Structure 1
């Protein structure tokens, strides 16, 4: 997060949680992508100062450390990594430059993969527009990129720019969708251009179909996610709500990717994060809140299985797991305990080419009809 005022750079539990997610995700993303790529980019569009007032590292250093400290770093020697940080505030940029220079000097061992570190003093929008123009003139596209877009507010991250840079490619985005600011100002005079830029839609179209003020936050999230799919070009888009101690949504982390493995990685990172301070990450399944808790209530997922797969025979375990990952808030790790309980109670029948359990490719499930 990058409030321009250095005096306000005290880290809060929400930001720590975002950084936990970023660190966990990149540790999985780097080796997966480099297994079939020779150049990847990490882009931080609102990079900030690099370090908080209590000494905690910011997202740029977390991203770098996720690579240089990776247990499989040697396996990624063939790949060139580019870390590109963009920061508009002059004081923040100067502070970040010092942090990056110190980090590079400390880790300049002369061995390992080729790692480039670039810092641009400008806005994400202006920098992105210039890059998009250069790519268009050359008829090229950006190398596979993970873009962390974490603004303070809702300006400077246009939907059309996200599309031109990251849509229809190997790239991914993790956007902090500051829905609290959006819902507060969306109908205020003078905000029309900013809202249209954010969503890629005029305000009246963004608000079309809003049922009530109570549903406004979820409605805005749904429209933003739909735009990331339809305009941004991302095949898979999921959001995760950060709720505060009052139960209100502070923001949504919205992840857009072209690969279902990316969804799986992000789910794992989200379920591991601990916001603290009375806050939680959550999602919904058919209107039921699902808290990302170490011991979650999996009853909504059980009901989902019995509904979605009702009457089907020989459903592969892999299909059940991918449905869980792509269509529900839950992880694949939640699947087998539910199926075990359903089998023990006689609700489902399991066909196995194995002695026990639910091994991938060797177990198939018969589900009862919905009325049974």
Structure 2
């Protein structure tokens, strides 16, 4: 039986703020992009909660609605004389707190969003099937922030890219919860102190798995078996098992989504992650936007939370790794070695983050600032760059390092 978790909404914790910041900051450009393509959008918050915490801070539903407001305002500013009727359908599924959610969204315009009271697993497939029949060229975004891992459904996630025009996922993966249940089902002793591993995880659902088949359905395969076997032998510890499972989970998602990133949420350096936010998309622009978003949230998480506001001379990743420019340059060169034809900048950047993880923000890789890696490579003659437009209105060569608003940039390594 799932926990009610009502105490979770008394006060919004700092890691929930980081999580909702990641969601909200990404949704603004996501909505902008889809509205500019004149395609309808279905946004589903699969575990919506109350909508607002008891301390007055917004939950994920109001975060998403506020992001939509900002996107619409930006779109209307950019198109002041155009007729604009956004086709954005906001759906919120909630089992335990639906009445509170209705009350907290009472000020929303009529018909702007729909609240579905009930279980995610009972409602999501009928919801998606009905939407698929009703709307053509529909773009779907699922925000999946469950109390545990039991309801995660790999087959459902697999089906979305073929059923809809585009599909994106942002999943709160309780990877340690999966490891613990996998140990229990495989009769392996979970050697860690549960009060340390699961402390502060109000999202954790104490409901248990019944079988290996159920765990396979969640993970999308049996790859986790060997990880638990290694853990049982003492070859790896719990932290290494969690990291291995998270990596394999991302690789499994990449069977249907070209780009999959994750952000571990931990409160102290060296501490086990409380959970991982996993983003999946088939579009390089979405990947680069999310990667830069994760990098900015990482600064907040590492500097403000883990380090008490103390700055570091070398920036850290969310995995608490210090990555200097020499390491970044080596990885960029390695990826460039596989780039024999001219490649769009955003596709190259998405490939970098997909391959190596979110090691830095976009400005360290490519920007107009002195010292950014790709700008330095261009200056040193290591890469060839083709920009469109090639010249400014004053007939000077363009030097931009960002795509968008009619600007495109192609690059490849210089042949020896």
TM-score (norm. length: structure 1) = 0.78
Residue 284 of structure 1: aligned partner:
none
Residue 257 of structure 1: aligned partner:
281
Residue 20 of structure 2: aligned partner:
19
SS in structure 1 at match of 2:305: coil
Change (3 A) 1:42 1:343: closer
Extract unaligned runs of 5+ from structure 1: 109-114, 281-288
Shift of 1:62: 0.8
CA–CA distance in structure 2, aligned partners of residues 256 and 299 of structure 1: 29
- Between stretches 359-368 and 29-38, larger displacement belongs to 359-368
Residue 270 of structure 1: aligned partner:
294
CA–CA distance in structure 1, aligned partners of residues 327 and 86 of structure 2: 42
Change (3 A) 1:307 1:234: closer
CA–CA distance in structure 2, aligned partners of residues 4 and 316 of structure 1: 50
Shift of 1:56: 0.3
Kindly indicate whether residue 198 of structure 2 is the aligned counterpart of residue 197 of structure 1: no
Change (3 A) 1:312 1:139: closer
> Whose strand fraction is larger, Structure 1's or Structure 2's?
1
Q: Within 5 A, what are the aligned runs for 1:94-113?
A: 94-104=99-109
Residue 162 of structure 1: aligned partner:
157
Shift of 1:215: 2.0
Asked whether the 8 Å contact 1:135–1:142 carries over to 2, the reply is no
Asked whether the 8 Å contact 1:132–1:164 carries over to 2, the reply is no
Residue 144 of structure 1: aligned partner:
139
- Between stretches 61-70 and 354-363, larger displacement belongs to 354-363
CA–CA distance in structure 1, aligned partners of residues 349 and 35 of structure 2: 25
Residue 195 of structure 2: aligned partner:
none
Residue 327 of structure 2: aligned partner:
300
CA–CA distance in structure 2, aligned partners of residues 264 and 141 of structure 1: 27
Change (3 A) 1:119 1:166: farther
| Aligned pair partner of 1:130 in 106, 122, 126 | 126
CA–CA distance in structure 2, aligned partners of residues 365 and 144 of structure 1: 32
Asked whether the 8 Å contact 1:306–1:368 carries over to 2, the reply is no
Change (3 A) 1:357 1:97: same
Change (3 A) 1:347 1:34: closer
CA–CA distance in structure 2, aligned partners of residues 292 and 202 of structure 1: 26
Residue 355 of structure 2: aligned partner:
327
TM-score (norm. length: structure 2) = 0.70
Extract unaligned runs of 5+ from structure 2: 186-207, 309-315, 367-371, 391-395, 402-406
Q: Within 5 A, what are the aligned runs for 1:1-372?
A: 4-9=4-9, 10-70=11-71, 71-74=73-76, 75=79, 77-89=84-96, 92-104=97-109, 116-131=112-127, 143-167=138-162, 169=164, 170-189=166-185, 191=209, 192=211, 193-202=213-222, 205=225, 207=227, 212-213=236-237, 214-230=239-255, 233-247=256-270, 248-273=272-297, 274-275=300-301, 276-278=304-306, 290-291=317-318, 297-310=324-337, 318=345, 321-328=349-356, 329=358, 330-336=360-366, 337-341=372-376, 348=382
Change (3 A) 1:12 1:38: same
C-alpha deviations, 1:58-103, integer Å up to 9, x for none? Answer: 00011111112333243582331111000011xx111001011123
Residue 283 of structure 1: aligned partner:
none
C-alpha deviations, 1:264-283, integer Å up to 9, x for none? Answer: 12112212222342189xxx
Asked whether the 8 Å contact 2:179–2:228 carries over to 1, the reply is no
